[in-house]
């Protein structure tokens, strides 16, 4: 009933090719954006910002990046943690080398550096596929983390190898360190993620996204219809790494404020982001957000419910949380192997017929 | 938009009402406990957390709190993970009447919290860990790292080695290797050791062990081949016991193998069995449960059935338990000082900071606290947040840890310039003007 699109006629190509061709989608998107940009800042405090919204958005961006590579172009990658670290360390180097640089430029710079590194590590994908590529990207993960421990230049020769973010502004607003207003930090990261999500959505709808998907579905057939695997695969690596690099820079500068390569961006991060897109939905922009929401927010939600409502001790709640979290992942994957995004799609189809299914 | 504002106000009101009622009911001294009872470092985390919690609970049970004000310990599980630590911090900082002090217990979490401390006005006591240059109170107003930093400890351990070799001049030509946890924590002593190597003419080499440290075959093969005279270790968690077992298997003399004070607890030596006998580590307090304060804890908590973790009774007095206890004792003294300075019983984090800065727990006071000889006297000043800077060496005799040396003072000629350099760098990066401590 609510989701019926009958009566919405499209009279031109532009309308037919809109990002959200259905009126209801456009409205709900608008509502989400208004809530995100206006509603949330009204109620946000340090806890909601630092423990919930900012990590969720940063990881959503990372998942978006990996989804481009793995979900859309079919190249399995386990190097996400390493690329996040490249983003973080290059943003740190940019911030300390050019103190007056605007944070937006820092983010773009960090993205560009990561894209370059991603290109380099994407080269093996031209020869190897599937699990073998996963191993090659795993090598990237270990190499990059090792590099950031080994070469003191990356952390400006300080005693411990920890990098700490200096205070920096974006368009005149302080966005890094604890001194920055939480609302400003939240709005900054939200704007960045919104822009990148729109860019991703448009990319995957366009020529480049279609060629990624063609390679994913069958690379030989794609080659036969004139898609060059070389530029297609490498562009997927570059774009994906760009996103992940920006996410890494945001995790370091806006969320955490200090980082250490192995601890913050270890192999676990790679798996975490991979789980996000598997749970959320491979090849889906919405899925990246749902997956990030699930993986980032579920443990925190569980913890708060178990400790605050059921009065468990912190340690017992932790054990329950670890178990329950695993069970939930398995449950969701059994119920819908194609991820939460697919679940949403099914709900949408049901809603179209509701309340009169035939 | 109007509806949304309404909902927001309503939601805020619903949340705020119980909070308002709660805070109106009574002021409590709120002390967060950053536990890690899960994960690879849990064996070290549990005794510390129990020592910390038991002391506060004992004050409640025995004295009815501090100066009549009850204490509320708020545990939060970090699993020794930085990101979960940040979540814990944000969650607990406004708990009850507001958190008074954080004991982050992980170098990673400490680095996260240092910039937050000055903004939220809650002091951090990173006891012997965290950022070493925080010893410079002029720059790091909100951070305390007494009784001694890793740099001081490295220097003290080298002094011990010098003493055993028969004088600092005998160090020339000796080989001293460092086996370290490959993280910010493990890297702390490197620069100090390099400087000391230059000064005393010994050969220094660092051997990194990656998290979590179960695989060290290559490291010890290298040691067997190159035969260093002494080995220092900056290890944590499972890495310690693996290293001790490996050292035993290559028959490295245990009394020439010295761990940092985080590598010297019962958990580290027991798995290696008899082979661990003679192993050394740094220390700033005594192990054992024979002090009056322990007796009070047993009497008022464990025997009275009020202990938060009743099955821990047999382990009261372990090295890390005592460390948690000592940390809580200093914090409670800082609470007293803060109440005295500000002449109020309802202190805030900012007042607590003043309490820490004026902390002076001398021998006499330790005796009053039932902890005579348990640890060293501490006196903090505005410019020196590191306090006494004294480190002793303890030895595992196969059954228990015993302190076997004097307390050494570090070589400040080497360390002070390093602290100044690092803290100046931090001040510059973060636009901090160092305080004037006059």
* Dihedral, CA of residue B203, residue B207, residue B208 and residue B209, to nearest 10: -150
Statement to judge: residues B267 and B180 lie in one domain: yes
The closest CB to that of A315, out of B5, B37, B94, belongs to: B37
Query: Where do runs of H (alpha helix) occur along B30-74?
Result: 42-63
Contacts A38 to B, Cβ<8 Å:
1, 4
Q: Which of A309, A308, A330, A307 is nearest to A319 (CA)?
A: A307
> Which residue in chain B is spatially nearest to A51 when comparing CA positions?
B87
Statement to judge: residues B80 and B195 lie in one domain: no
Query: Would an 8 Å CB–CB cutoff place A99 in contact with chain B?
Result: no
Statement to judge: residues B98 and B142 lie in one domain: yes
Contacts B131 to A, Cβ<8 Å:
160
Radius of gyration of the CA atoms of chain A, in A = 21
The reply to whether residue B38 touches residue A319, judged by beta carbons under 8 angstroms, is yes
The per-residue pLDDT of chain A, averaged, comes to 91
The reply to whether residue B430 touches residue A317, judged by beta carbons under 8 angstroms, is no
Query: How many other C-beta atoms are found inside a 10 Å radius of the C-beta of residue B175?
Result: 16
What size, in residues, is chain A?
Answer: 358
The reply to whether residue B4 touches residue A39, judged by beta carbons under 8 angstroms, is yes
Question: Please, are residues B95 and B73 in contact by the beta-carbon 8 Å criterion?
Answer: no
Q: Quote the CA–CA distance of B380 and A270 in Å, as a whole number.
A: 44
Statement to judge: residues B164 and B273 lie in one domain: yes
Statement to judge: residues B270 and B334 lie in one domain: no
Domain boundary among B221, B253, B283: B283
* pLDDT tens digits for range A284-339: 999 999 999 999 999 899 888 988 888 888 888 888 988 988 898 888 888 888 88
Write down the pLDDT at residue A44.
92
Statement to judge: residues B103 and B135 lie in one domain: yes
User: Å from B370 to nearest chain A CA?
Assistant: 30
Structure tokens at A143: 């190499």
* Best of B32, B35, B83 to mutate (most A CBs within 10 Å, chain A): B83
Mean pLDDT per 10-residue segment, chain A (358 residues): 78 86 88 94 91 95 96 94 96 92 95 96 89 92 92 86 89 88 94 96 94 94 94 95 97 92 89 93 94 92 88 86 88 87 88 78
Contacts B5 to A, Cβ<8 Å:
42
Question: Please, are residues B263 and B240 in contact by the beta-carbon 8 Å criterion?
Answer: yes
Q: Number of CB pairs < 8 Å for A and B? A: 124
ipTM for the complex shown: 0.87
The reply to whether residue A162 touches residue B86, judged by beta carbons under 8 angstroms, is no
Query: How many other C-beta atoms are found inside a 10 Å radius of the C-beta of residue B6?
Result: 10
- Assess if residue B345 is contained within a domain: yes
Contacts B184 to A, Cβ<8 Å:
160-162, 260, 263
Domain boundary among B260, B283, B306: B283
Structure tokens at B344: 């109020």
Helix, strand, coil % over all residues of chain A, rounded to 5? 75, 0, 25
Collapsing DSSP to helix, strand or coil, B227 comes out as coil
Q: How far is CA A210 from CA A64, A72, A78, A213, in A?
A: 17, 9, 24, 5
Q: In b/e form, how buried is each residue of A222-232, taking b as 16+ CB within 10 angstroms?
A: beeeebebeeb
* pLDDT of chain B, 438 residues: tens digit per residue: 445 555 555 545 444 444 444 444 589 999 999 999 988 888 889 999 999 999 999 999 999 999 999 999 999 999 888 889 999 999 999 888 899 999 998 888 998 899 888 889 999 999 988 888 899 999 999 999 989 999 999 999 999 999 999 989 999 999 999 999 988 888 889 989 999 999 999 999 999 998 888 889 999 999 999 999 999 999 988 899 999 999 999 999 999 999 999 999 998 999 888 889 999 999 999 999 999 999 999 999 999 999 989 999 999 999 999 999 999 999 999 999 999 999 999 999 999 999 999 999 999 999 999 999 999 999 999 999 999 999 999 999 999 999 999 999 999 999 999 999 889 988 887 888 898 887
**How many domains in chain B?**
2
Strand-by-strand arrangement of the B230-234 sheet? B203-209, B175-181, B230-234, B257-259, B280-283, B392-396, B401-403
The reply to whether residue B75 touches residue A166, judged by beta carbons under 8 angstroms, is no
The closest CB to that of A167, out of B91, B182, B431, belongs to: B431
User: Å from B88 to nearest chain A CA?
Assistant: 9
The reply to whether residue B87 touches residue A50, judged by beta carbons under 8 angstroms, is yes
The closest CB to that of B12, out of A43, A164, A313, belongs to: A43
> Which residue in chain A is spatially nearest to B42 when comparing CA positions?
A315
Q: Which of A271, A60, A37, A252 is nearest to A164 (CA)?
A: A252
CA angle A312, A316, A319 (to 5 degrees): 135
Statement to judge: residues B47 and B118 lie in one domain: yes
Statement to judge: residues B138 and B157 lie in one domain: no
Statement to judge: residues B177 and B212 lie in one domain: yes
User: Å from A166 to nearest chain B CA?
Assistant: 5
User: Å from B111 to nearest chain A CA?
Assistant: 6
Domain boundary among B267, B283, B299: B283
Structure tokens at A79: 């190097």
Statement to judge: residues B271 and B160 lie in one domain: yes
Q: How far is CA B343 from CA B99, B335, B346, in A?
A: 19, 12, 9
Q: Quote the CA–CA distance of A36 and A53 in Å, as a whole number.
A: 10
Statement to judge: residues B182 and B58 lie in one domain: no
HEC-encoded secondary structure of B113-124: HHHHHHHHCCCE
Domain range for residue B156? Answer: 150-283
Domain ranges of chain A: 43-264
Structure tokens at A209: 């996204």
* Best of B43, B111, B118 to mutate (most A CBs within 10 Å, chain A): B111
Statement to judge: residues B167 and B275 lie in one domain: yes
- Assess if residue B10 is contained within a domain: no
> Which residue in chain B is spatially nearest to A98 when comparing CA positions?
B429
CATH of the domain at B300: 3.40.50.2300
Query: How many other C-beta atoms are found inside a 10 Å radius of the C-beta of residue B309?
Result: 17
The reply to whether residue A38 touches residue B4, judged by beta carbons under 8 angstroms, is yes
Contacts A160 to B, Cβ<8 Å:
107, 131, 184-185, 187-188
Q: Quote the CA–CA distance of A91 and A88 in Å, as a whole number.
A: 5
């Amino acid at each position: 009933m609510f989701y019926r699109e009958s009566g919405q006629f499209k009279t031109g190509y532009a309308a037919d090719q809109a990002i959200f061709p259905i009126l209801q989608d456009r409205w709900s998107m608008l509502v989400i954006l208004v809530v995100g940009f206006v509603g949330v800042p009204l109620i946000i405090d340090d806890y909601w910002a630092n423990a919930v919204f900012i990590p969720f958005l940063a990881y959503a961006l990372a998942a978006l990046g990996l989804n481009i590579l793995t979900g859309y172009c079919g190249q399995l990658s386990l190097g996400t943690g390493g690329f996040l670290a490249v983003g973080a360390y290059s943003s740190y180097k940019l911030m300390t080398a050019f103190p007056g640089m605007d944070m937006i430029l820092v983010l773009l710079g960090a993205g560009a550096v990561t894209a370059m590194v991603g290109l380099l590590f994407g080269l093996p994908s031209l020869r190897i596929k599937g699990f073998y590529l996963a191993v090659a990207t795993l090598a990237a993960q270990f190499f990059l983390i090792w590099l950031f421990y080994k070469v003191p230049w990356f952390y400006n020769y300080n005693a411990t190898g920890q990098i700490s973010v200096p205070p920096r502004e974006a368009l005149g607003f302080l966005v890094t360190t604890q001194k920055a207003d939480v609302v400003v930090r939240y709005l900054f990261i939200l704007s960045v993620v919104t822009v990148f999500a729109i860019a991703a959505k448009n990319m995957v709808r366009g020529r480049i996204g279609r060629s990624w998907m063609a390679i994913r579905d069958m690379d030989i057939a794609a080659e036969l219809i004139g898609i060059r695997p070389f530029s297609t695969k490498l562009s997927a690596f570059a774009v994906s790494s760009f996103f992940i690099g920006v996410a890494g820079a945001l995790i370091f500068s806006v969320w955490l404020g200090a980082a250490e390569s192995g601890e913050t961006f270890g192999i676990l991060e790679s798996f975490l982001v991979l789980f996000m897109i598997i749970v959320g939905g491979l090849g889906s922009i919405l899925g990246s957000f749902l997956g990030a929401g699930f993986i980032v927010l579920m443990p925190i939600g569980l913890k708060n419910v178990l400790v605050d409502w059921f009065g468990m001790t912190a340690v017992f709640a932790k054990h329950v949380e670890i178990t329950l979290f695993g069970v939930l992942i398995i449950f969701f994957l059994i119920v819908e192997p194609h991820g939460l995004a697919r679940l949403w799609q099914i709900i949408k189809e049901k809603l179209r017929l509701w309340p009169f299914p035939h | 938009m109007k509806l949304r504002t309404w909902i927001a106000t309503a939601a805020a009101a619903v949340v705020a009402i119980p909070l308002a009622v709660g805070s109106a009911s009574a002021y409590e001294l709120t002390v967060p406990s950053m536990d890690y009872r899960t994960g690879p470092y849990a064996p070290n985390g549990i005794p510390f957390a129990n020592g910390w919690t038991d002391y506060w609970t004992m004050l409640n049970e025995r004295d009815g709190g501090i100066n009549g004000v009850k204490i509320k310990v708020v545990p939060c599980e970090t699993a020794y993970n930085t990101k979960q630590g940040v979540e814990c911090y944000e969650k607990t900082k406004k708990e009850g009447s507001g958190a008074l002090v954080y004991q982050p217990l992980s170098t990673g979490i400490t680095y996260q919290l240092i910039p937050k401390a000055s903004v939220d006005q809650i002091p951090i006591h990173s006891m012997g860990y965290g950022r070493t240059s925080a010893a410079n109170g002029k720059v790091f107003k909100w951070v305390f790292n007494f009784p001694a930093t890793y740099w001081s400890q490295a220097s003290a351990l080298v002094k011990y080695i010098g003493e055993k070799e028969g004088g600092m001049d005998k160090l020339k030509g000796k080989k001293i290797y460092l086996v370290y946890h490959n993280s910010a924590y493990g890297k702390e002593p490197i620069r100090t050791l390099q400087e000391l190597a230059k000064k005393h003419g010994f050969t220094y080499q660092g051997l990194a062990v990656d998290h979590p440290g179960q695989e060290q075959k290559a490291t010890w093969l290298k040691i067997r081949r190159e035969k260093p005279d002494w080995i220092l270790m900056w290890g944590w968690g499972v890495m310690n016991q693996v290293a001790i077992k490996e050292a035993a298997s290559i028959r490295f003399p245990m009394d020439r193998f010295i761990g940092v004070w985080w590598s010297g607890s019962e958990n580290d030596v027991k798995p290696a069995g008899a082979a661990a006998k003679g192993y050394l580590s740094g220390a700033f307090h005594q192990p054992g449960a024979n002090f009056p304060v322990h007796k009070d804890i047993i009497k008022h908590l464990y025997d009275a059935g009020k202990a938060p973790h009743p099955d821990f009774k047999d382990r009261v007095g372990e090295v890390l338990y005592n460390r948690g206890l000592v940390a809580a004792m200093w914090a409670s003294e800082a609470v007293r000082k803060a109440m005295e300075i500000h002449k109020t019983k309802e202190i805030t984090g900012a007042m607590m900071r003043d309490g820490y800065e004026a902390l002076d727990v001398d021998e006499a006071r330790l005796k009053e606290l039932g902890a005579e000889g348990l640890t060293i006297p501490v006196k903090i000043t505005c410019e020196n947040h590191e306090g006494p800077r004294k480190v002793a060496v303890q030895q595992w005799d196969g059954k228990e840890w015993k302190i076997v040396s004097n307390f050494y003072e570090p070589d400040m000629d080497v360390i002070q310039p390093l602290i100044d350099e690092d803290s100046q760098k931090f001040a510059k990066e973060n636009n901090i003007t160092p305080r004037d401590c006059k």
